[in-house]
A = this chain, B = another copy of it.
Amino acid sequence: MNAPQLTRNQALVFDVLEKAEGPLSAYTILDKLRDQGFRAPLQVYRALDKLLEYGVVHRLESINSFVACAHPGEDCHSHGIVAFAICESCGQVIEFHDHEVDHRLMGWVRSQKFKPAKTTIEIRGTCEACAA
């Protein structure tokens, strides 16, 4: 999915995510956009839905938060499953891909005749900088 011209709300939400140090919850985004006229969660969720569809934002299922894609222009989704390492101390997120992991998972999926729609890989832990 290629991203068309963003609407005002989509652009505002994307901008907040891009400038953020780490992942943000929808309600945190809402708070950051009150000055721009945002009033209700739905304004954020609707924008996020589109940004997710365009592939420029990822949802982190294990922490109910959202991040801007770390590989803009590469069309992440076209080269396999996206994985995330999430530091529970500083909130930093590292986005990466591993083709071998993709192959193994997709091999298993095929053997089970399971039709995958969306795959989540999230490693929560402590990043190098935060390690005691």
Which residues from chain A sit less than 8 Å from chain B, CB to CB?
Answer: 61-62, 83, 85, 87-88, 94, 96, 98, 100-101, 104-105, 108-109, 112-128, 131
Contact = CB atoms under 8 A, between A and B. Distances in A.
Nearest to A132: B115
B123 A114 contact: yes
Given A62-B120, A98-B108, A105-B121, 12 more contacts: A85-B109, A87-B114, A88-B117, A98-B105, A105-B123, A109-B123, A113-B127, A114-B125, A115-B126, A117-B124, A117-B125, A118-B123
A98 B94 contact: no
Contact of A115 (B108, B118, B122, B125): B125
A88 B100 CA distance: 26
Contact of A104 (B101, B108, B117, B119): B101
